[in-house]
Structure 1
Amino acid sequence: MWKCDKCGKEFKNTNQDHYCSEKPKTIDDYISMQSEELWPLLNQIRDTIREALPYAEERISWSMPTYWNKQNIIHFAAFKKHIGLYPGDKAVEHFSQRLTEYKTSKGAVQFPYSKPLPLELITEIAKWCYDSGNHN
């Protein structure tokens, strides 16, 4: 078992990502809880998805920034070495040829901090998720 030095919570995995404090209630809360150096990247993704999905409501779901319109459309989250984008498995499959330089898994894409964010691709993925009805 691993115990967080900050909050004292115990986890099976060493250095497991978690919230030491209260869970975020808004996307602003979520971003402010992350390291300050990540704020510009998280805000870039937020602004990109907001522009792509102007009719979607911003909310927190599964403790992640989420875009919603009658159901969850897409999520994102910050991690130690990457930002995760969660458009769902059908989106990852649909865009697989354009995601070859990124680590993917069923329904998720990892954008490492060491590379520029592919904002145009994120826009296309978000719009595709909404337009196709393949929501996460």
Structure 2
Amino acid sequence: MQTEKFKTVAGYINSVSGIQKKQLQQIRNIIKQAAPADAEEVISYNIPAIKAQTVLVYYAAYAHHIGFYPTGAPIKAFANALTGYKTSEGAVQFPLEHPLPEELIKQMVRYRIKDAEEKAAAKRSRPVK
């Protein structure tokens, strides 16, 4: 999977099997439910992502977990809810042996959307140099 260059999210998902494929399909559906209607699926950094003006979140399959990359703000905001999961500044690992936390993922996607909108508004309101 790592050496192939993916062109579509479906191609990425179809490159894995078993529980990885099942959980990729699940997280894809969870994210799409929370994403804006005009959001599009893209491949960025050779992994699936959801984009609405900017990339909102990424996700990927690994040997023992699904990586979810909503950037740093949601990770900080949901730190208490993420207790028990391995996290880093902008990522969380959901172990394959456990069900995906659907509501938590949706909440994090919605938070990321709001964060991206606020950043875009702040950027637009900056004076031109």
Q: TM-score, normalised by structure 1?
A: 0.81
Which residue in 2 is equivalent to 1:104?
87
Distance in structure 2 (CA, Å) of the matches to 1:37 and 1:80: 10
Give how far 1:132 is off: 2.1
Query: Paired residue for 1:30, among 12, 27, 30?
Result: 12
Q: Greater share of helix residues, 1 or 2?
A: 2
| 1:52 pairs with one of 34, 37, 42 | 34
The runs of at least 4 consecutive aligned structure 1 residues that moved more than 3 Å come to none
TM-score, normalised by the number of residues in structure 2? 0.85
Q: Output the aligned Cα RMSD.
A: 1.5
96, 102, 106: which is aligned to 1:113? Answer: 96
Identify which of 42, 49, 55 aligns with 1:66: 49
Q: 1:47 corresponds to which letter in structure 2?
A: N
% identical aligned pairs? 38
User: C-alpha deviations, 1:84-108, integer Å up to 9, x for none?
Assistant: 0000111101110100010000100
In the aligned structure 2, how far is the partner of 1:37 from the partner of 1:78? 10
Q: Residue 61 of structure 2 is aligned with which of 71, 78, 84?
A: 78
Tell me how far apart the structure 2 counterparts of residues 46 and 66 of structure 1 sit (CA, whole Å): 9
5+ residue gaps, structure 1, are 1-17
SS, match of residue 98 in structure 1: coil
- The higher relative CO (CA closer than 8 Å, separation ≥ 6) is in 2
* In structure 2, C-alpha distance between the alignment counterparts of 1:50 and 1:94, rounded to whole Å: 21
Residue correspondences, number = 117
Unpaired segments ≥5 residues, structure 2: 120-129
Residue by residue over 1:77-128, the C-alpha shift from the partner in whole angstroms, topping out at 9 and shown as x without a partner, is 0001000000011110111010001000010000001211001110110111
Distance 1:40 1:83 in 2: 11
Report the Cα distance in structure 1 between the residues aligned to 2:78 and 2:7, rounded to whole angstroms.
31
